[in-house]
Structure formats: structure tokens, C-alpha cells
Amino acid sequence: MNSGASPAFPLPPAAGQSAFANGTALPELTSAQTRWKAGSVVEASWSIYANHGGGYSYRICKKGGGAEATEECYQQRPLDFATETTQIRYVDGSRAPFFINATTTNQGTWPAGSQWRKNPIPMCNCDIGTGCGHKESVAAQRAMSEVEGGATADADLTDIITGGKQCKEVLHEFCGTKTGENTCLRCGSKSSYDCEECCPGLDKVTKGGYSYCVSHNPSSTCSKDNPRACFGEPYPNSYLAPGQQVAECPTGLMFPSAWDAGAGAGIGGSFNFEMVDKLQVPDVPPGEYSLSWRWDCEQTPQVWNSCADVAITA
């Protein structure tokens, strides 16, 4: 994996690669070549490290002749899904493989008529997909009252603000609007919690030799004129099945899950399964192809791509 995120992102670049190098700069793989027959039905799978909702599609691009594997090339040969189900396979064998119904459409897709399949793992039931309905923590509430009333000893302030946690930098697009929840764009080095630059709409308060961010601004209030502040408000329906509990989503899910464990944000690789789809290989000339898996996210303005090499035979 080549990291293209913040320098503070915990995942390092691939071995032997510089940080932020292009994925296409990675050397060719030496593993056995995957071979597909034109017109046949094959399997492809994907799994979640951090869930962003949305949906995905598969495409191929012919290699060779000096042509690059561009998005335009992939769009010329989208693949159809061969069945209306997706198989769930637990990678450690803790559960036998099973099928769930898939939601697939070719309406409103690009290119026209191509197929797009819904990510079947629901996140939490608010627009941002995680942390729905979280109120300011007791610690943050105490901190705000002390900032306004000025009655707490400086030595205790770090624990009041953070509960012993470290300062955490977030990208601008992931900024929160509430005290103590994803509020710092750039951390300092004066203490375990020291923020040098707060997210928009929050005020930087300095006390006890370090700084932190608090919400005093009306922009943190959900309104028609400020829809961003509404992203964390839970939907009216929880979509949890009777008896189902999802620790990451106490307020509920975006939509019903296909099975109890198939829900949540899954950040950090906590989803121990892959989603396996049957694909229809088109009748194309034999040769070397690049297979593209494209994920159009819902909770974030992101498109993720992953590629593989396949040889298609007659």
C-alpha cells in the first residue's frame, strides 16, 4: 500500500517505496497469473478496512501497445455481475460461507447501462455514517464550564479535556463541530494534548501551557443554512433487527444489515470477511488486461480504486 494521506496517518508506504508514491509505481507482481476465459463466469472479491458506504463496479482495460490504464479505458469495458447474490467468506474460517442478496442497478450509471452494486454493509444511521448522535462528553462539558467559569486547577485540565488521550490531527474534510470530537487540524508538541490549529467554527483556548479547541460558535448548530452541522443527527429509523446490537452504532444503522455482524464502520480492519461476486467476462480479444475495482463512496467525497492483472484467453 502506498499512503497518500496525512503524514500522521499510521499506515506506512509499501516496502521500498517513498511516501506518497503512485500506486502505479509499484513493481510488477511475481505471483501466478490469473487466467480467465472470454465469455466465462469468474469470481472477484473485496473487503473493507474503513467503511464509507456507497457502491462499486468492475471494469477491464486491455494492456500493451504503450497505452496507459486510464479511467477512460476502463469505462469502455465495464463488467456485468453474473448473479443477484454476493457470497460472504470469513477469512479465518470462523463461519461457513453464505450468500446475501445483492442490490445492483444499471440506471443512472456511467457509462450508461453499466452495472453498479451497493456496498451491502450499512454504517450508522446519520449522514456522516459514524458517531451519530454523540453529545459532548462529560469531560468536554466540564472543560467548557471551567473555561467559562475559571475554577479548575491547571494540573487536572488535560484529563478533563481528553480523558488522558493524545491530540489527534484530522483532515479538513473530516473536521467535527463539537468540543473534543475531531477538532484539531494541526497538533503541537507542548503536551500530550496541544492543538496549534483548530477546525473552522471552533475557538482555540490556551490554558496550563497548552491549547485545545472548544465550540462557542452558532455554526455548530444544525440548521437549513448550515447542513454540515446536521451530518451527525440520527435518522428517525434505527434499522436494527430485534436483539441486534452494533457497538459502533448505538443509534442504529443506515439500512437493515444482511446479517448481524455485517454492519458498522469497521475502521482498522475489524471486518473479518470478504465479499465475493460472480462476474461475466465479456467476449473480448485474448490478451493481457488490467481489472479495475472502483468504489464510489457515500459518506466521504472519495473514489477508491484497486487494480489486478488478468490474462483473458479465447
**3-class secondary-structure state, position 141:** helix
* 33-121+271-313 to CATH, choices 3.30.470.20, 3.40.50.720, 1.20.20.10, 2.70.50.50: 2.70.50.50
From 136, 111, 127, 126, select the one nearest 59 (Cα to Cα): 111
Count of C-beta atoms within a 10 Å radius of residue 284: 15
| Exposure b/e, 254-269, CB count within 10 A at least 16 = b | bbebbeebbbbbbeee
Split at pLDDT 50, 70, 90, the class of 48 is very high
Question: What pLDDT is recorded for position 98?
Answer: 98
Question: What pLDDT is recorded for position 210?
Answer: 75
Question: What pLDDT is recorded for position 208?
Answer: 65
Least confident of 25-39, 154-168, 280-294, 296-310: 154-168
Find the helix or strand (DSSP H, E) in which 159 lies. Answer: helix 154-162
Tell me how far apart the alpha carbons of residues 30 and 309 are, in angstroms, rounded to a whole number.
11
For range 72-94, the mean pLDDT? 96
Least confident of 77-86, 160-169, 275-284: 160-169
Question: What pLDDT is recorded for position 165?
Answer: 52
Sign of CA dihedral 276, 64, 24, 1: positive
Least confident of 114-123, 142-151, 274-283, 305-314: 142-151
- Domain parsing of the chain, residue ranges: 33-121+271-313, 138-230
